Structure 1
């Protein structure tokens, strides 16, 4: 895979001398969290501010994922970058890639992924923490935004795989909320229809435990858009939740 530079970010990266893998790899930055050391390598995330535009720079070494197409493994960022591109092509709101490249050096497989920071957006987890303080209109708007995001995702034939509150980002506007997704590493096509859709939605509802039954129904109304029986979906989601809790 050749190096990728987003057209909208090329000029900015060029002004800062950051259009090459080595330049981004060598940047001295403070990680925003502890490195991920699973999979036999490491992976870290850093914030990069270039004037008024902010990015998150992700670097990894020997942090590989294996699949039928890549039995020997490939950098997890390579998979995430492909999914970011797929979401863009399918019109699914998600984070934007500014740069991606990978390199092989003796004993290492390195990868760099630069994405635009979601400044002005807030994850659903943050709204859930203050759910009791939100007025009814804002609650309904958030539920509608989450339901519509899930509908767009599944109508495009994709399953997120980690459809959790921390991966759903919201931005308030005058007449509601925009919503988009991050963390696309586990995305895959919907292979098993309703079963996969339920598998995607149930973890969100389980983690959003502050939502009442009526609020869950509002989200499902937005998700289904009148195309299916609400009670049957509630039953499927409830059965999966009981099954998951019984395994604990």
Structure 2
């Protein structure tokens, strides 16, 4: 059984799972053993394009639709496509394929690197919050809020909402500084019955793993509720660990 999604351009060959699998690079996430198999991520280069390749063997999840197991990269692929449809910036899929043989599943997801982006927690660590331009910082909070609201209005839960999975690119060279936001690590993402379920799970989780003080958090929630078109009383006073 083979399941394939490919967005490979002519300059980003090869196109088969075997060929992609043979490409080696630096491990940025060493293979870890769980879910009945292993999964790891390598940084690779093809035709000058920086890519991230998630390789899995026997690394599956089970659900009502897939009671016998399905590679988690296929769930992540579905989540990336759903987020993109909802208007959320995510890494572009270059290639995704899964094959099942007598030995079990083998699967791979290849995405383009987010050039010029960095994790939100690293961005804060490299900038003194006290000297950040107030207007630019409010724009950053508003863009984060809008991205998360877009995801949640589509009843899609990120599932692992830490600041390190929010990537930011700040442009300050132009007359009008701008912020761009992208979300990563959607492997645990799943649809929820309501937008409220998705919102409360992710936003409370984000608060526990966020870099903001209470004033910044309340500002973010103000932007978020405006984007959602509704209020969540228990989010304003949520606290960090």
Q: 2:20 is matched with which residue?
A: 24
| 1:56-205 matches, cutoff 5 A | 56-130=52-126, 132-133=128-129, 134-135=131-132, 136-173=134-171, 174-205=176-207
Q: 2 CA distance for matches of 1:126 and 1:212?
A: 16
**Cα deviation code 1:126-172 (max 9, x no counterpart):** 12324534513332222112111111111222111112111111111
- CA gap of 1:195–1:88, structure 2 versus 1, over 3 A, is closer
More helix by share: 1
- CA gap of 1:169–1:53, structure 2 versus 1, over 3 A, is same
Q: Larger deviation: 59-68 or 187-196?
A: 187-196
Say whether the 8 Å CA contact 1:144–1:219 is kept in structure 2. yes
TM-score of the superposed pair, with normalisation by structure 1 = 0.85
Secondary structure of residue in 2 paired with 1:10: coil
Say whether the 8 Å CA contact 2:25–2:43 is kept in structure 1. yes
Secondary structure of residue in 1 paired with 2:31: coil
Gaps of 5+ in 1: none
Q: 2 CA distance for matches of 1:239 and 1:190?
A: 24
Number of equivalences:
233
Cα RMSD after superposing both structures: 2.2
The alpha carbon displacement at 1:111 in A equals: 0.2
Gaps of 5+ in 2: none
Displacement over 4 Å in runs of 4+: 238-242
Q: 1:211 is matched with which residue?
A: 212
Q: 1:223 is matched with which residue?
A: 224
Say whether the 8 Å CA contact 1:10–1:19 is kept in structure 2. no
The alpha carbon displacement at 1:241 in A equals: 5.3
Q: 1 CA distance for matches of 2:59 and 2:141?
A: 36
Q: 1 CA distance for matches of 2:11 and 2:152?
A: 35
